[in-house]
Amino acid sequence: QVIKCKAAVLWEVNKPFSIEEVEVAPPKEHEVRIKIVATGICRSDDHVITGALVEPFPIILGHEAAGVVESVGQGVTSVKPGDKVVPLFVPQCGECKSCLNTKGNLCMKTDLGTTSGLMPDGTSRFTCKGKAIHHFLGTSTFTEYTVVHESAVAKIDSAAPLEKVCLIGCGFSTGYGAALQTAKVEPGSTCAVFGLGGVGLSVIMGCKAAGAARIIAVDINSNKFAKAKELGATDCINPKDFDKPIHEVLTEMTGGGVDYSFEVIGRTDTMTAAFACCHYNYGVSVIVGVPPAAQNITFDPMLLFTGRNWKGSVFGGWKSKDAVPKLVDDYMKKKFVLDPLITHTLPWTKINEGFDLLRTGK
């Protein structure tokens, strides 16, 4: 049965979302149709609006959500109608090289970096005004109903509050895992976190959970410092308060550089600064923010030659289908908090206001 429902459609770049009636096709073989209950707003969605992340239009964005399975296609065994689930923008097919390797988590079935904007079979499940609408990262959660591949959905605890655990679909897991999984932060270490949005704050929580002794939070918006300290930051610094490059400030503050640094903004200048502020011989710097399209980094290779490690992290290094249910269980056991990451709760028809709040740093 085709479902008619409301969705936030983005027709072209740099335009607001348009709330439209869309038709959502039934799930095909190995696909799952989900009623979305709550969705988070992530800067990666905004990157598509501004053109920094290139995707095909028209498109339904959104990739951080939680919902309830409405129906399943043939051959689906891991979920059934009525199950509470989190869609996964990094799927876990269990068969590709990344899925089979203990060191990897970026399943080759992901739409990240391919910009196909379609389901794995090369077609779309969304139609609006007679036109096919593209999917985003295989999830598309800015709609009342969406269709995902079975490899891109995780069944979670039926008691979990969906309006909180939706953040485990991207922001929280991405930051928390960057510290625990990708960097493998050690007890007693010193960390620097560039960017104090929801993901940056989640990195701070991960560093604290790992036992870091010093966590230096860096942002040009000092309004973000109180929450960073509440979640575990020991120092907060604003680059605007110094007349020298921020990596020099951090190197001096820490007597030679931090053990671990994290760039959680998605800017090439801060990526290089985060890399330069980690210890010249054994420092590890992790890129967590999505890099802007068509921009390259130029840096002195001596920064690498001396022993620093530069790493990237997608979805916090977690194998999604395995990790998301466990992270939800940890949340239910109060091993970490999500409430401080939620600043506003809006009816989703006010999605454009939500993005305005994101862009103004609120």
One domain, residues 321 and 308: no
244-258: pLDDT as tens digits: 999 999 999 999 999
Task: Using the predicted structure, report yes or no on whether residue 5 has a pLDDT greater than 90.
Answer: yes
CB neighbours of residue 237 within 10 Å: 19
One domain, residues 267 and 327: no
Q: How far is CA 67 from the centre of its chain?
A: 17
Structure tokens at 34: 């989900």
One domain, residues 166 and 191: no
| Complete DSSP assignment for 342-362 | ------GGGHHHHHHHHHTT-
Is 47 among the residues known to form the active site?
A: yes
Is 151 among the residues known to form the active site?
A: no
User: Residue 20: pLDDT band by 50, 70, 90 thresholds?
Assistant: very high
One domain, residues 116 and 9: yes
The verdict on residue 228 lying in a domain is yes
One domain, residues 292 and 329: no
Running DSSP on this structure, what letter comes out for residue 322? H
319-339: pLDDT as tens digits: 999 999 999 999 999 999 999
> Which residues are registered as beta bridge partners of 20?
7
The verdict on residue 328 lying in a domain is yes
Among residues 312, 333, 351, which one ends one of the domains? 312
One domain, residues 141 and 207: no
Which structural domain, as residue segments, surrounds residue 15? Answer: 3-171+317-360
One domain, residues 33 and 74: yes
The verdict on residue 64 lying in a domain is yes
| Cβ-based neighbours of 267, under 8 Å, separated by 6 or more | 289, 292
CATH number where 124 lies: 3.90.180.10
Is 96 among the residues known to form the active site?
A: no
pTM for the whole thing? Answer: 0.94
Is 128 among the residues known to form the active site?
A: no
The verdict on residue 292 lying in a domain is yes
**Residue 324, class by beta-carbon neighbours within 10 Å (0-12 exposed, 13-18 middle, 19+ buried)?**
buried
The verdict on residue 178 lying in a domain is no
One domain, residues 28 and 115: yes
CATH number where 220 lies: 3.40.50.720
Per the structure, the count of domains in the chain is: 2
Taking CA atoms, 22 is separated from 123, 128, 143, 362, in Å, by 16, 5, 9, 31
One domain, residues 45 and 143: yes
| Complete DSSP assignment for 129-147 | TTEEEB-STTT--SBSEEE
One domain, residues 42 and 160: yes
The verdict on residue 29 lying in a domain is yes
User: Residue 348: pLDDT band by 50, 70, 90 thresholds?
Assistant: confident
Vertex 309: Cα angle to 308 and 313 (nearest 5): 155
Task: Find the catalytic residue in 93, 99, 107, 170.
Answer: 170
One domain, residues 255 and 106: no
One domain, residues 212 and 341: no
d(CA 179, CA 28): 37
Is 344 among the residues known to form the active site?
A: no
